[in-house]
Every structure is written in C-alpha cells, then in structure tokens.
C-alpha cells in the first residue's frame, strides 16, 4: 500500500468541509465524508496524487447525511473556471428531481468540459457496475443518500495519438474533434484512478512491471512540474509506490529491504534524469495515457452478461469504440462480430415473456441492422438493459448521426428538445457555414445550433447579402437544412439506377426493353398492388399485419435514403405483396417496393396533381425539387392509406380541390390511434426539412409493435373491428366525437397544480370563440416517455370507466399531433383540493362537515372497490372540493385495476410514492389492495381532523417519531415503527369514536381492517349522533 503521508504533505490535500455543512442543490460540496465503519476516506488531491477513491476500495463515498445526491468528480477545472470557495471531489444535490443528463451538464461545467465533448461522459453507479441513461430521473428526498460517478464512458482507439493519425500539439483553449485540455485532464485523472485502484488489469511479468514503473516516473514528474518542485523534493514526501497499482505495490513490499532500496534508488535516478526535460504537464499526461493504452488495449471495452431468449446458456456482449458490437458464448475467447455502430437500424426494449405466468423483471433487447438481421438478447433487469442500449445509442451518435436516437426510453432530454425545436447540436461556426453553402447559400438561409462553448446558449448562422457580397452572420432564429440535392433523371435513368440496387424489399429489375415503348422487365410479384389487396380483404387484415408491412416499406425507403436516391412515387399502389403471410402459423407478410416509373421531374403538372396526396407539395409547386424528404411525405400518405384499408378519399376529388388542399396546408384526418397520428403528421409536414429520417420512422414503428400492439391485442373482438377501421367517416370531414376536444378551442387561463409527472391547467373550451364556453381542468404530462404515456393512457381509461357522484367527472381527451400532445379533460371544481380548503376554512368547518366529507369519500371508495380499482394515492391533496358540502375523489395517476383472479396488485416499478400514507404491506412488498386504500383512508381521516396542518402532517409526525438522526432508509425505519404499533396520535379535539375508526383502519394485518362498505354506515351514524347532540 502507499506510504502513509507524513507531516508536511497537507498542501497536496483538498480542504474538507465538515459533514454538517450542506450545500444548496447543484453547488459544489465537500469530498467524500468520514465513514463510521471504515474511518476516513482519502481526500481527492489535485489531479489525484493520492490513492484514488474509486476502484478496489471497501469504503463508501456515501455521506451519513440523508437527503443528498453526490456526484463524484475525478478532476475539477482550474481555479479561474471554478466557483470561489468550491472544493474538488463532489457536487451535492439536495431535494428535487434531476435527470442524469442535467447532472452531467452541471458536472461538465464544474470540470470545464465543453459541450463538444459532453457526449463522451455519463454517470455510473458508485461501484461502477452499471451506467445510467441520460434521461434517468434521480429523486432526492429524505430517504435518498446516493453517490454516482461522473466518468468518460465512450472511448475510441488512438484518440490520444497512438495511431498514425493524431494531433502532435494541443491548441490552447480550443475545442477540437479529438480532445481538448479539460477532457485530457479528466481522462488522465480517471485513467490514473483506474490504474492505481486496480481497475486496469495488469500482469506481474517483468516487462509489465517495467511499464508500470515507467508510468510512475511520468506521474511523479508531472507532480513535480505542477507543484513547481524538483524531483528530489517530490520524492521526499510522495512515495513512488503510491503511483503503482495495488498488486505491484504488494509484490514490491514482499521484497527484502536491500531490493526495495535498490528499486527506490533506480526510480529516483530515472526521475532526476527526466527532470531536466522541457515538457509541461499536459504533454506528460498525454504520454501517460499513451503508455497506459499500450499496457491494456481493451480497457475501454464494456461486457454485458446476458442470455439468449428461451435458453439458459450465458452469452457475453462486447461493446467497444473500435470493435463495435460482438458476442461470445460460455466464456469463450472466440468472438463473433455482429455490427459496427453505423450499421444499426433500430433498437427496441420490451418485457421478456414469463415462464410461469407471473411478472418478470427480464427485458428483451433487439438490435436490428440495416440489412434486417437482428441480435436479440435477454437482460436480467431493466437497469442493465437501459445501460446497454444507452451505450449503443451514444456510440451511434458519435460515429454516425449526432441527431438520432433509437429508444425514447434512453433518449437524452436535450436531444429531444433539439429535435422538437429543429436545432443542431454544438457544431462549430465553420461547420454551420459549410452546411448552409451545401444547401445553396442563398440569402435568408439560416441554421440554429447550440453553442459549442456554452451549455446555455444558442447560436444562429444566417446567410445575408451585403454590398461586398454574400456573408454569414449570427442571429436568433431557427432553421435546419439537411443539404440533400440529389436529383433523379427520366424513366431510363431511373431504370438504370434501380438495376444497380439490391434489397430484399425492392422489386428485382431484370432489364429494359427499348423500342417504340420502353418497358421494364421485372420479377413477378404474386399478389399484386397492396391497395387492391387491402380493399378486397378489408375485414380480414389485422392491425399487426399492417404494421409489419409498414415496417418493411420503411426499411426499403431507408435503404434508398442511405444511397441518397429519392424514389418519388411512394404509394400503396407501388407496394407489391409477394406473400400474404399467416400470423397464426408465424409466417409474416412480405412486400416489395416497385420502381417509381417516370420521375416527377419530367411529369406534366396535371399528372402531378393527379398524384395528390402522395406527391410532396414542394414537387407540385416545383417539380425539379425532388429530393429525399419527398419520400417521407409519400410514406406518410401511404401509411394513412394502409390503415384505412387501401382507401384514399382525397384521390377522388377534382384537381382544383386537390390543389386547394395543398394551398391551404391542410392535413388528412388524424387517425384515432394517437401514435399513428403522430407518425403521419411528422411525415406529412409541409416544411421538408422537418420530416424525420427513415431510421427515426423505423424506430417509431418498432415502438408501435413492441408496446402498443399489446394494448390492441387486449381489446375485445368488437373493439378490434372498430379500432381497425381507425376513421369513422366516409369523406374528409371527421365526425365530431362528444368526448374529443380540439386543441385550438382550449383557451389557457391559469395553472391549477403541478406534480412530478404532470400538470393541471384551467382552460375554457370555447368552440364558438365568444368566451361563453365552459371551464374545464386539463391534465397533461411533463415528459412524454413511453412508460409515462402508457401510464397516462391507463389513468384515462380508468377515469373514463368511472361514474359516481363523489368521483371527479371525466369529460374527454384532446390530441395534439398524436400521443405526444395527449391531454385529459375533466370537470373543473372551483374550490381546489381539500388540503388547501381545510387550511383556509378551518374556523367555519365543524366536525359534522368533516364527517360529511369522510362519508362522501368513503362512498366513492366503496364504488371504486366494486369496480376492482385500487386508488393507491388517497390523501387530502387528491380530494377536490365542489362546494362546502360536496367533495370528489381525483387524481388516478397511480390507480390500478385488480386482476380478475386476485384481490391485490403487486407494483414492480413503484417510483416515487407517498410512503407516509402507505400500508405496511405496500411499504414492504409493494402490495396494494382495497385494504391498503383503507389504511390510506385512515390517514386521510387524520388529515381531516388536523385540518391538514403542515406542522402536524403525517410526514412530520412520523419523522418526529424517528428522531433528529433520520436514517438513510426512511421506508425501513417507518416500517419498523408500524410493526411496533406506533401510530399517528389523536388530533387535538378529535372525538374518540373518530380516532377509534382511524385505529381500525391502521390494523397491521390487512384482513383485520374494515371495508369501505363497513365504514360508511359507521361514519353516517357518527354524523347523525353529532347532529342530534348539537341539536
């Protein structure tokens, strides 16, 4: 082990702040604190001179203080970039919610990492066993005491100059495509920590020992340069063994005294000989990294231990920047290469099938290549699956397309924001100008981008015409140009092009017959055009069948997009059905896209109008503008056509009316399937630059198949027939759904409330535009991840099925460009939630009124139980007040429907929960039932008779029972209190009969608690008794 520091070494340490000093959220905090079990953890010295904190240690970085999330940093920026008074080591975040990407941005700012290199970093668990995706949400509350590590995750070979192509000189203060100074500093500190901490596997052979000692010489020399000391001075207070990995230190320690002294002398001699070299710290760090890369070339590889679906045989998935994705079986050294990152077409995550019918934690990850080959593996947990997918997703953005993501489950929030705003990432001004010039460089052309120097700034490069000629200026507005200007030719040119293409979903062209009429000779496709097949078999074609066909068409168009060849004539008529398929027998349908025929660039205008709505609007106004985005429009129209059974009402209109459709920038009626509506709307965007690429469309189609298809398959046969029709109209005018609210008629008034997952707004639904419409409460999601959307759908379905006087009334839904804009419309109750109502009106609310509220809530809960619905969040904050004598149960965001064969529900991913309202079985095993709602009702009774006092709230009372030294695991401590029969005290002035009801609700055993059917007559009897006593 490294020698214990003697007196005089304190100048190498980072000052430490006492553990009782807490920093505000996001501000730098002290390094790792004392551990009562392991003693003091070593402090993080400047650039890591002492034994590293991460890797091969038994002590924990976690502070004894709860309510804090710590982000460990290997290295911080120099003092000019660092906030005054801050300490190196960790950033601390207190109460609130933070995404992993947000924490990475905060860490990058503290470390001086620029946005250009931000994508190389990620957060890992404290033991470095798993990585968090960028959109992972950390919830910091009283029970939180967590440490995560900010690390460089994405490595590439030779990026420090080991290969033939590298930089020999770093440019001061300039971000580069390789690495800049702050990233070199951080990579060095991280690599040094891994090396000394034993995370870099090194042998103990003599050549390896010599290499390790050479690294130690470089390290000591760097310390001398940075501390402005001579090598002899550094050797006097820093042991060279502190720069070596633990196994080698241990081996040296086993030598006799003479051998150790000789090693020390030789080390000092080498250090003095190199001490005269005129090198600076950064060059020494680069040399250190180069030698370390030679020592272990595979140290950047990540290995995931999985298994094949349906098999117990272990499989190892190997992922590295230079090797792409490979796999091996049973611990074998032999690897099978699967793909490089640019070859990936799609990645999907879904829950693995259960072997015993019960819920499972396993997740299936499917990686699909551009040639439609797949790699499907099963991960033991969702966390591991997210870690793997986030790795592939990140490497793809670094090697192929910086603006693409495969899975919304791991998509970076900043990237989603950029795509929504049509904004580029942190590209340089030179790169932006080149893109604009590639797009034509006409005056008025502009491009919005994130600043490559500042995480919080946006820049816009715009082309302007000046007296001296064309110039590029910075402004604030947005535009996204893709630069595709490839033009196709005539019929023969198209035939020549198609003859050189080969894809299984493209019709094979045998040749061309030239004569009076030019003819293409193609393979025969048995079942002919898809639109005719859909019309003939309208009732027999399922939604799943259509999804498979749509996906195959997307793969064909993605292939053409990669080749930069626009098709120009995408429609169901051009899609030929080679095989019908048999879903029952496991045989899918198989389609092939036919040739486009005569290009739109040479067609007469009347022929172009005839192709509306499949031909893109820009091609009608300017036939010479056929570029790749035109196929996205045609694909959207074809998608609409496929799911309407091969019908396209717009095609039957007169030419003038078709032109008016485009001139008015109108859209086809939105399908009632919101995700499909989103896809169609994105494809049929009138601005060509805003249409998504086909890789993104493949990803979204796969999400329909892997998640929403389960929803479709759960419908009854009658519902499937109705759903499979999608549109209840015979023309372009949609029939008005009384429960469908149009977004343009919802007028925002104010914000009613905001929670962790959604917000509720007060709006006026005013279709007449005269401010006479009714007031409604509109709930929408804060984020739109796939899981949150599914949970929101379930909440809407549950509320839609409930009709009771004491439950908030469902009014309808509002769709805005598909599911991304899904909103729940409910009745508006003007007096707000019961918690606030009690606090404001305590003087005039008598016990009889409180019992009336309790009885109404009890009757509502009795109705929910009859509907096999468990609320799971029964509290005064979720009860809405219609009037002084009428309350209603609201907020069904956590509600669950009980399975038909069980009277309880086990939540697998509980998320953030109101633990102080939860029953013991819910805290211990995530089991919820009507009996657990009864427990929560008892807590609600307590809130009623304390008038929701903040100082006497359930959380404050239980925390008071726990004492001032609140443990990190509050749930465990709370459960221990309940097992010991500790309960909330009787509220001041509360009748003993009411408190007895509360205590009956708080019986530890669920079966001992009364049902709501038993509680309601008891509460009503208490009301009658109180009224008679008062009378």
CB–CB of 850/945 below 8 Å?
A: yes
Q: Distance between CA 393 and CA 101 in Å, rounded?
A: 14
Distance CA 193, CA 533 (A): 64
Concatenated DSSP letters of 813-833: EE-STGGGG-EEEEE--TT-B
> Order of strands, edge to edge, in the sheet holding 446-450?
446-450, 458-466, 469-475
Question: What is the C-alpha to C-alpha distance for residues 367 and 347, in angstroms, rounded to an integer?
Answer: 5
The kind and range of the H/E element at 629 are: helix 629-643
Query: What six digits make up the tokens of 721?
Result: 């027939």
DSSP string of 873-928, one letter each residue: --SGGGEEEEETTEEEE---TT-EEPPTT-S-EE-S---S--GGG--HHHHHH-EE
Helix (H, G, I), strand (E, B) or coil at 552: helix
Establish whether 658 is an annotated binding residue: no
Beta bridge partners of residue 512, listed in sequence order:
520
Beta carbons of 783 and 757 less than 8 angstroms apart: yes
Strand partners, 825: 778, 812
Reduced to 3 states (helix: H, G, I; strand: E, B; else coil), residue 680 is helix
Measured between alpha carbons, how far is residue 78 from residues 48, 170, 448, 455 in Å?
14, 17, 31, 19
Cross-strand partners of 751: 761
> In degrees to the nearest 10, what's the CA dihedral of 381, 383, 386, 387?
-110
As a residue count, the chain comes to: 1031
275 burial via Cβ count (<10 Å: 0-12, 13-18, 19+): middle
Nearest to 990 by CA among 953, 938, 945: 945
At residue 828, the 3 state secondary structure works out as: coil
Q: How far apart (Å, rounded) are the C-alpha atoms in residues 808 and 688?
A: 44
Q: Which of 595, 700, 873, 933 is catalytic?
A: 873
CA separation for the pair 774, 287 (Å, rounded)? 72
Query: Which two three-digit tokens encode residue 639?
Result: 């998608």
Q: Which of 8, 289, 16, 304 is nearest to 157 (CA)?
A: 289
Residues contacting residue 1015 through CB under 8 Å, at least 6 positions apart:
858, 934, 937, 997, 1001
Return the closest-CA partner of residue 792 out of 881, 898, 711, 878.
Answer: 711
Contact 542, 724 (CB under 8 A): yes
Contact 287/274 with Cβ under 8 angstroms? no
Residues in Cβ contact with 172 at an 8 Å cutoff, skipping those fewer than 6 apart: 181
Would you call 873 a catalytic residue per the annotation?
A: yes
Distances (CA, A) of 419 to 136, 415, 783, 786: 19, 6, 15, 17
Q: Are 137 and 99 in contact (CB under 8 A)?
A: yes
187: helix, strand or coil? helix
Contact by Cβ (8 Å): 947, 839: yes
Binding residues for ATP are 780
Residues that are catalytic: 873
């Amino acid at each position: 082990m490294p020698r214990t520091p003697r007196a005089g070494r304190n100048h190498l340490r980072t000052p430490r702040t006492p553990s009782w000093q807490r920093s505000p959220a996001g501000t730098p905090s002290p390094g790792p604190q004392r551990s009562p079990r392991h003693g003091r953890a070593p402090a993080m010295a400047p650039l890591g001179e002492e034994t590293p904190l991460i890797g091969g240690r038994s002590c924990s970085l976690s502070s004894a203080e709860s309510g804090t999330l710590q982000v460990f940093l290997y290295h911080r920026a120099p003092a000019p970039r660092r906030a005054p008074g801050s300490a190196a080591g960790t950033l601390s975040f207190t109460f609130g919610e933070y995404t992993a990407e947000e924490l990475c941005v905060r860490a990058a700012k503290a470390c001086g990492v620029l946005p250009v290199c931000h994508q190389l970093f990620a957060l890992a668990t404290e033991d470095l066993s798993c990585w968090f995706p960028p959109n992972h949400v950390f919830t910091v509350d009283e029970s939180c005491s967590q440490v995560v590590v900010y690390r460089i995750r994405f490595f590439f070979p030779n990026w420090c100059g080991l290969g033939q192509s590298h930089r020999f000189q770093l440019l001061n203060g300039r971000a580069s495509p390789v690495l800049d100074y702050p990233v070199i500093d951080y990579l060095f500190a991280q690599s040094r920590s891994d090396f000394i901490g034993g995370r870099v596997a090194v042998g103990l052979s003599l050549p390896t020992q010599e290499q390790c000692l050479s690294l130690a010489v470089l390290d000591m020399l760097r310390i001398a340069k940075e501390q402005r000391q001579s090598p002899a001075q550094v050797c006097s207070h820093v042991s060279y063994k502190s720069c070596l990995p633990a196994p080698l230190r241990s081996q040296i320690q086993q030598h006799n005294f003479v051998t150790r002294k000789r090693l020390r002398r030789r080390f000092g001699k080498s250090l003095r000989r190199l001490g005269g070299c005129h090198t600076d710290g950064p060059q020494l760090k680069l040399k250190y990294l180069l030698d370390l890369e030679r020592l272990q070339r595979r140290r950047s590889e990540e290995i995931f231990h999985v298994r094949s679906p349906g098999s117990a045989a272990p499989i190892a998935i190997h992922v590295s920047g230079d090797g792409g994705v490979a796999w091996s079986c049973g611990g074998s050294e032999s690897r099978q290469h699967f793909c490089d990152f640019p070859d990936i077409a799609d990645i999907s995550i879904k829950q693995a099938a259960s072997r015993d019918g019960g819920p499972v934690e396993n997740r299936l990850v499917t990686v699909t290549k551009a040639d439609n080959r797949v790699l499907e593996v099963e991960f033991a947990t969702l966390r591991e699956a997210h870690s793997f997918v986030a790795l592939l997703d990140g490497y793809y953005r670094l090697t192929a397309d910086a603006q693409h993501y495969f899975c919304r489950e791991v998509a970076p929030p900043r990237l989603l924001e950029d795509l929504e705003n049509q904004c580029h990432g942190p590209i340089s001004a030179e790169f932006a100008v080149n893109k604009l010039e590639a797009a034509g460089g006409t005056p008025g052309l502009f491009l919005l981008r994130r600043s490559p120097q500042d995480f919080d700034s946006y820049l816009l490069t715009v082309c302007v015409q000046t007296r001296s000629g064309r110039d590029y200026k910075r402004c604030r507005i947005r535009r996204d140009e893709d630069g595709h200007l490839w033009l196709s030719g005539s019929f023969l040119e198209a035939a020549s092009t198609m003859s050189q293409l080969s894809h299984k979903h493209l019709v094979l062209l045998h040749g061309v017959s030239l004569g009076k009429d030019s003819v293409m000779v193609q393979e025969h496709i048995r079942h002919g055009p898809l639109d005719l097949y859909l019309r003939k078999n309208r009732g027999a074609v399922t939604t799943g069948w259509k999804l498979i066909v749509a996906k195959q068409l997307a793969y064909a168009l993605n292939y053409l997009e990669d080749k930069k060849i626009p098709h120009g004539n995408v429609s169901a008529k051009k899609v030929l059905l080679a095989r019908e398929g048999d879903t029952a027998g496991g045989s899918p349908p198989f389609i092939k896209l036919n040739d486009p025929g005569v290009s739109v660039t040479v067609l007469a205008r009347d022929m172009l109008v005839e192709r509306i709505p499949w031909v893109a609007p820009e091609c009608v106004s300017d036939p010479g503008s056929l570029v790749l985005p035109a196929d996205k429009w045609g694909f959207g129209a074809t998608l609409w056509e496929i799911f309407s059974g091969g019908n396209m009402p717009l095609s039957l209109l007169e030419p003038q009316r078709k032109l008016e459709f485009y001139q008015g920038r109108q859209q086809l009626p939105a399908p009632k399937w919101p995700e499909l509506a989103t896809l169609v709307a994105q494809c049929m965007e009138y601005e060509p630059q805003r249409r998504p690429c086909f890789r993104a469309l493949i990803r979204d189609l796969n999400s329909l198949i892997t998640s929403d298809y389960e929803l479709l398959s759960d419908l009854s046969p009658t519902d499937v027939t109705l759903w499979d029709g999608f549109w209840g109209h015979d023309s372009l005018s949609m029939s008005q759904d009384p429960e469908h609210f149009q977004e343009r008629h919802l007028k925002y008034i104010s914000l009613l409330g905001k929670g962790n997952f959604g917000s509720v707004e007060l709006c006026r639904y005013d279709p007449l535009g005269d401010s006479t419409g009714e007031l409604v409460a509109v709930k929408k999601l804060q984020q739109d991840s796939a899981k949150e959307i599914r949970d929101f759908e379930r909440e809407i379905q549950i509320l839609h099925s409930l009709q009771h006087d004491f439950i908030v009334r469902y009014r309808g839904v509002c769709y805005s460009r598909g599911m991304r804009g899904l909103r729940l419309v409910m009745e508006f109750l003007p007096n707000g939630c019961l918690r606030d109502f009690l606090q404001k009106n305590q003087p005039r609310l008598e016990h009889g009124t409180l019992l009336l509220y309790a009885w109404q809530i009890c009757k509502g809960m009795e109705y929910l139980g009859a509907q096999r619905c468990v609320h799971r969040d029964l509290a005064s904050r979720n009860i809405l007040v219609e009037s002084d004598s009428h309350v209603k149960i609201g907020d069904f965001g956590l509600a669950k429907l009980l399975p038909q064969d069980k009277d309880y529900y086990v939540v697998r991913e509980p998320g953030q929960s109101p633990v102080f309202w939860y029953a013991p079985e819910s805290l211990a095993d995530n089991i919820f039932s009507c009996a657990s709602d009864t427990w929560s009702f008892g807590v609600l009774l307590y809130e009623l008779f304390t008038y929701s006092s903040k100082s006497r709230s359930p959380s404050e009372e239980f925390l008071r029972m726990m004492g001032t030294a609140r443990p990190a695991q509050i749930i465990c401590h709370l459960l221990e209190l309940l097992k010991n029969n500790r309960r909330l005290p009787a509220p001041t002035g509360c009748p003993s009969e009411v408190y007895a009801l509360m205590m009956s609700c708080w019986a530890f055993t669920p079966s001992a608690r009364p049902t709501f059917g038993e509680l309601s007559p008891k509460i009503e009897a208490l009301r009658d008794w109180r009224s008679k006593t008062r009378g």
